[in-house]
Chains A and B, each alone.
Chain A
Amino acid sequence: MNIVLDNNHSKEQVAMRDAYCQTLIELARWNEDIVAVDADVMNSMGTVPFQKAFPDRTFNCGIQEANMIGVAAGLSATGKIPFAHTFGIFATRRVCDQVFISCSYARLNVKIIGGDPGITAAFNGGTHMPFEDMGIMRTIPEMTIIEPTDATMMRDITRQVAARYGVFYIRSARKNVVKVYGEGSTFEIGKAAPLRDGKDVTIIAAGILVDEALQAADILAGQGISARVLNMFTIKPIDKDAIIQAAQETGALVTAENHSIIGGLGSAVAEVVAENCLVPLERIGARDIFGEVGPEDYLKVRFQMTASDIAAMAQKAVARKGKSLA
């Protein structure tokens, strides 16, 4: 892990899907086993340049997500390294059994990229807004789940995922997100990336809520609360040690995810806390509620995922310190 922070809170020049696809093309130039499988959303997922570069190694299945996942599994059985792309709702909800049996149970080597996590589905609305994708994937044994934070992390994670055997689910916004990391930063899958140290509370965030968490830490600093911020970009396997250390050193935790509080980051952290280190824990995320249509900034407020929501939740967690957790 070698992290350089970019503290400007400004949008990336490059869209996540472009950073991803460019990296995949670079990898595929020297690794002829890398192939792409798609399901008629190549233009949305940004994988058209891969198809142009490697037409024989791109299989657009049309509107057939189940078949796409099975084809990917079969390709991997012959030594290929398939990357399967579609929106997060289809990549998980629609093909849960194909991922489970054809890929994971069969111990094959398939990388699944789900676009538009949570509120980034925006104008596609509630039908297309995965607040449950991580919950579905997290129960599949040996699955690795990663939510890259920005284009720099996306590039590094794509390289690492291509080089590792197994079934991976990467959930990522397709468009430009806030830049958090300086160029050249590298990350370790399964290890939380520390963003800011603090002693009163730890905010454990992922995805687009990482930047909100950093802003929340600024708000809290103004109120005299010192907040640690961890980027838990690997949701599974979760970095248990970092959670326990944060609980012991700061005494209160807040999770912040662009997902339901059921099944995702908040649940994973709660499991570690309940088994290892009882401290007050509060969770930011969709509260057992369906998504809805609208611009992302509206949805962030609607589902209480803003920096001020996170700061308020942190205050609540801090206020519970020393009180009975029973």
Chain B
Amino acid sequence: MDEQKIREMGILAHKIRVETLRAMGKLGFGHIGGSMSIAEVLAVLYGGVMKIDPRNPGWDGRDWLVVSKGHAGPSVYAALALAGYFPTEELLTLNQPGTNLPSHCDRLKTPGIDMTTGSLGQGISTAIGVALGHRLNKKDNYVYLILGDGECNEGQIWEGVQFAAHWQVDKLIAFVDANKKQLDGYTQDINDLTGLAGKFACFGWHSQEVDGHDAGQIVAAVEKAKQAEGRPSVIVLDTVKGKGCCFAEPVFLNHHMNISPDMAAEAIAELEKDLARCGCKS
């Protein structure tokens, strides 16, 4: 992928943050930390890596994305809107009565959401099932999966890790958003998950670790992952919880925060300054 494309993905990540903040700012609260930390991986996936057709979300030739850390829904919705699945104005309906954009991802409500998630640990199994279904249907679509690092406390994750390796589910590429924090604090202090990349490797996965805020590194890792025949792949993303959001990034407990219109406006203004430096507008 050329440098210009990678640069555009970096810009898209900023735009995802801006749109997410607009929606959460209007709502007054949200899962800000984990929504901000996955902006780059979403930008990479929707900015060129995934085979998709936003005008036909159910296209059977598409690649799938299962966002197992379903509470990051708002930034996924921002990515979907910016990719053209629905108008960005609809993002402001987040969590409003009758909305198509609930806190947690729902395959039946939001165009482009491939799997319902929200109870942590379950997305890995459904993603594997989708990949096996594609195999039976003789399709070569990729299934991408985004896990949280805290989510890897869940036993079901490791059930899936064993099973995907045993069945050689090589069309599955998982990301772990390793932002080092879960709801109650640092993962290291709560139930230490250190060495995630090595843990996946021990289970037989092709395993890589990259800077999760560097679109170029993520793209390169996905290309490598696709070469890992006969093995599922994981890319552990070294990320910062709340990344790029001035009121959230420095805060210790930033899993879910109350967000005033002023806070949102300030964070958006900072991101827009960055975008302006790149010659872009949000």
Residues on A facing B (Cβ under 8 Å): 35, 56-57, 59, 61-62, 64, 66-80, 82, 97-98, 100-102, 105-107
| Residues of chain A within 8 A of B163, CB atoms compared | 61-62, 64, 67, 71
By a CB distance below 8 angstroms, the chain A residues around B122 are 66, 70, 97-98, 101-102
Decide if A78 touches B134 in the complex (CB within 8 Å). Answer: yes
| B162 near A72: Cβ-Cβ < 8 Å | no
A75: which B residues are within 8 A, CB to CB? 129-130, 132-133, 136
Which residues of chain B come closer than 8 Å to A35, judged between CB atoms? 136
Q: Is B126 an interface residue (CB 8 A)?
A: yes
Do the beta carbons of B130 and A69 come within 8 Å of each other?
A: no
CA distance A76 to B125 in the complex (A): 12
**Candidates B114, B118, B136; contact of A77 at CB < 8 Å:** B114
B residues 130-181 with Cβ under 8 Å of A? Answer: 130-134, 136-137, 155-156, 159-160, 162-163, 166-167
Q: List 12 A-B contacts (CB under 8 A).
A: A62-B163, A66-B121, A69-B125, A70-B128, A70-B129, A75-B129, A78-B134, A78-B136, A100-B119, A102-B116, A102-B122, A107-B108
Closest 7 CB pairs of A and B: A74-B129, A70-B125, A78-B133, A67-B159, A106-B116, A74-B126, A71-B129
A106 / chain B contacts, CB cutoff of 8 Å: 106-108, 115-116, 126
A107 CB contacts on chain B under 8 angstroms: 108
Residues of B within 8 A of A72 (CB): 129
Contact partner, A74, options B106, B133, B137, B167, Cβ 8 Å: B133
CA distance A122 to B171 in the complex (A): 43
- B136 near A56 (CB under 8 angstroms)? yes
Question: Nearest Cβ in chain A — how far from B243, in angstroms?
Answer: 28
Across the two chains, which residue of chain A brings its CB closest to B139? A78
A62 B162 Cβ-Cβ under 8 A: yes
Q: Which residues of A contact B125 (CB under 8 A)?
A: 66-71, 73-74, 98, 102
Is A97 touching B130 in the complex (CB atoms < 8 A)?
no
Do the beta carbons of A66 and B159 come within 8 Å of each other?
yes
Q: Mark B96-130, 1 if CB is under 8 A from A, else 0.
A: 00000000001110000011111101111111111
The one of A64, A68, A74 that contacts B130, using a Cβ cutoff of 8 Å: A74
Residues of B within 8 A of A67 (CB): 124-125, 128, 156, 159-160, 163
Please name all residues of chain A whose beta carbon is closer than 8 Å to the beta carbon of B121 when the two chains form the complex: 66
- Please provide the chain B residues from 59 to 76 with a CB less than 8 Å away from any CB of chain A in the complex: none
